[in-house]
Chains A and B, each alone.
Chain A
Amino acid sequence: MSDDKMPEATGPLSISIPEPPTRPGDAPDFSYIEVPKAGAVDCPPVDTKPEDMRDLAYSIVRVLSRKGEAVGPWAEFLGDDLNDESLLRGLKDMMKTRVFDARMLTAQRQGKTSFYTQCLGEEAIATGFQRMMRKGDMNFPTYRQQGLLIADGCSMFDMICQIYSNEKDNLDGHQLPCLYSFKDHGFFSISGNLGTQFVQAVGWAMGSAISGDDKISAAWIGDGSTAETDFHSGMLFASVYQPPVVLNIVNNQWAISSFNGLAGGRNAPFAARAHGYGFPSLRVDGNDYLAVLAASKWATERARRNLGPTLIEWVTYRVAAHSTSDDPSAYRPKEESDAWPLGDPLERLKLHLIKKGAWSEERHTQAMAEIESEVIAVQKEAEKYGTLNRGKGPDPEKMFEGVYKEMPDHLVRQRLEFEA
């Protein structure tokens, strides 16, 4: 460029450092989330061309109205799946997940485990999604999808023994609490490294499809972790190979202390990212159990019909602390969770069922008491085999096992040294 064509200098440049609208002491402000009326968003046929349903990435699929009614095209899409029996089961799955979390949180405070991650306020997503998975399918979850296991009927005894790292821990004490592995429940071994499993889920689905199998997979990632390279790698492979995978982003607004704007989620919805890769996406009210069922059905159906990947952004709120090592009052307003515009998933489904005459406050109270005693009983049973701070725990030598299929000589020597 010659000098005479140079535009005039425009003063010092600067970068943008995203900050959430509110911090501790401020009044909560969710004005950045536009909440459409329940039933307002279209439900296109699953084989619609991605470019003809881009708007789904920018609105929020909702089924339950404020009054607790199931309305709109996504409710219709659920068809036979929308029945009292199924919804009551969903309600109980969520209740169980919540009670389980509360008990385990207390157990951590008592030193029975080192670490725990609750999914308080996010229960509908995993418990609802799992209803659309079939035996042999595979989830690649994060530490916040215990609802998948609960909804699949995984033994809470086994889950608690893993959390306690006790002598019945199915992972022999190798792995951190909550980073379960339950292959029989289509639940892949959870990594502590964020994002790594997102692309693996895509690869698993590719494996199934290359083999001509009918199994599908589901990837899971948090809003903060969509920043990781592996998220983008997964999106790319999903786009290129069109495998039977559902890609789930649980947008609970927060990573640890950083809000989802730091993952780019306030410039455009996370759901919109699929359109850069040319595949469809849904943005869904994650606190609406019926919307979760409907969106999960839609996306898994696409996968099963070999129509390729679907991205789902579940809009929700992390009511709990990030983990037992975290205190959110240091970085967000205390009252923020009360101000959350999408409400509580459990209360919303309960209201719906009561409205329909399929449930009542009395039955709810009774069911809650039953679930509590069930979880307490299982917990007691698990504690017979020890907790992290009591009992003998998994055999110490088990740490040498499972590094390789067959133990190489150098490890055999180290194990002998250990025994000596």
Chain B
Amino acid sequence: MARMTMIEAIRDAMDVKMGMDEDVVVFGEDVGYFGGVFRCTQGLQEKYGRHRCFDAPINESAIVGAGIGMATYGKRPCIEIQFADYVLPAYDQIVSEAARIRHRSNGQFTAPIVIRMPTGGGIFGGQTHSQSPEAIFTHVSGLKTLIPSNPYDAKGMLIAAIEDDDPVIFLEPKRLYNGPFDGHHENAVTSWAKHEKGEVPEGHYTVPIGKANVVETGMDVTILAYGTMVYVAQAAARENNIDAEIIDLRSLLPLDLDTIVNSVQKTGRCVVLHEATLTSGFGAELTALVQQHCFKHLEAPVLRVAGWDTPYPHAQEWHYFPGPKRVGKALKRVVEAQ
């Protein structure tokens, strides 16, 4: 098995699918000759030609809109939005078109499109290179929303996404591209080469959409997390000697409710994490589901730790980021609650 960074794993997923299926096309801003600003598509144009992997004009609405058109023709576009922050001009195309075309045409037309985008903060990117927009997609019926947390999952999930017959939003936590970042920004990040999930099989495999991953089993509390926050959860539990069961959701919609419910019924306590702003975030959905399905088992209120309800600040980045300290506090409160 090869050792890969998350960038390499994502590239490999596209490579595998482009090799298997002529209909897979990759395009977006700077993705052709240059290979993308994060290099996720490097080499694909050279290998598959300019008609399979190409640059697009800087117009996100057109990129998604044209992608939908191609998909309805029969292609399988896997498109890149340079930063999740720049997907908003395409929001109408995603919400009113990609998400609904199957329903409104009663299956005559479908849009099997994958929209990849780097998400999350931690790179001093300020308010327009840091946002986590998952909740504006999970709120839309007709979309699937995925967010891997390691190279193995990233490859398997992206292949599954490209093979899926519905539109998929594929969020890539950019802070994890090169290694598992645990929120301790003062430390150097260990590379994926030293992490078991940096081992990526060659060729085709999938990680099924809709399946969460129990990263650590534990008895004290269940932590629901995804993307970068998986590693923050691990760090916070370790540093506070809390025996946490950490669930990496991976697929936000469809959601693996069984895994969540089984865990919370066992631990009786739950903390929900995300980097996105708190109010109306995906954590609100998770919290509501947990209280509905685990009410009799709960021994403490479910707590959420999330980004503050402000734009992502530049200078105060690490005061904004819900790091291990804040997560640790919440864990203690929930575990110690009588």
Residues of A near any B CB (own CB < 8 A): 14-15, 17, 19, 23, 114-115, 165, 169, 172-177, 179, 191-195, 224-225, 227-230, 255-258, 262-264, 325, 330-331, 388, 393-394, 396, 398-400, 403, 410-411, 414, 418
Contact = CB atoms under 8 A, between A and B. Distances in A.
B58 A194 contact: yes
B126 interface: yes
Contact of A192 (B89, B126, B278): B126
Interface stretch (B157-165, B172-180, B252-260, B308-316): B308-316
A262 B313 contact: no
B262 interface: no
A1 B12 CA distance: 47
Contacts of B319: 396, 399, 418
Contacts of B32: 17, 258
B315 to A, nearest CB: 3
Given A194-B58, A229-B89, A255-B58, A331 B316 contact: no
B310 A193 contact: no
Among all A-B residue pairs, the 6 with the closest Cβ atoms = A173-B315, A192-B128, A176-B126, A257-B34, A227-B57, A114-B124
Contact of B128 (A19, A23, A191, A255): A191
A403 B86 contact: no
Contacts of B214: none
Between A19, A179, A257, A393, the greatest number of chain B beta carbons within 10 A of the residue's beta carbon is seen for A257
**Majority secondary structure of chain A interface residues (helix, strand, loop or mixed):** loop
Interface stretch (B47-55, B217-225, B228-236): B47-55
B133 to A, nearest CB: 13
A412 to B, nearest CB: 11
A194 B313 CA distance: 19
A193 B59 CA distance: 11
B61 interface: yes
B33 interface: yes
A195 B313 CA distance: 21
A255 B37 CA distance: 12
Interface of B: 29-30, 32-34, 37, 50-51, 54-59, 61-62, 85-86, 88-89, 124-129, 278-279, 308-311, 313-316, 319-320
Nearest to B42: A330
A403 B30 contact: no
Contacts of B127: 174-176, 192
A399 B59 contact: no
Contacts, number: 124
A388 B123 CA distance: 13
Contacts of A393: 315-316
Contact of A403 (B55, B124, B310, B315): B310
A399 B313 contact: yes
20 contacts: A14-B51, A169-B315, A176-B129, A176-B314, A177-B314, A224-B58, A227-B57, A227-B59, A229-B59, A255-B58, A256-B30, A257-B30, A257-B33, A262-B56, A325-B37, A393-B315, A398-B316, A399-B308, A403-B309, A411-B310
Contacts of A165: 314-315
Given A264-B57, A399-B308, A410-B279, A19 B50 contact: yes
Contacts of A394: 315-316
B126 A256 contact: no
A263 B85 contact: no
Contacts of A256: 29-30, 34, 37
Given A192-B128, A193-B88, A399-B308, A23 B315 contact: no
B268 to A, nearest CB: 24
B309 A414 contact: yes
Contact of A411 (B33, B37, B62, B309): B309
A73 to B, nearest CB: 36
Contacts of A262: 55-57
A228 to B, nearest CB: 5
Given A193-B88, A257-B33, A173 B313 contact: yes
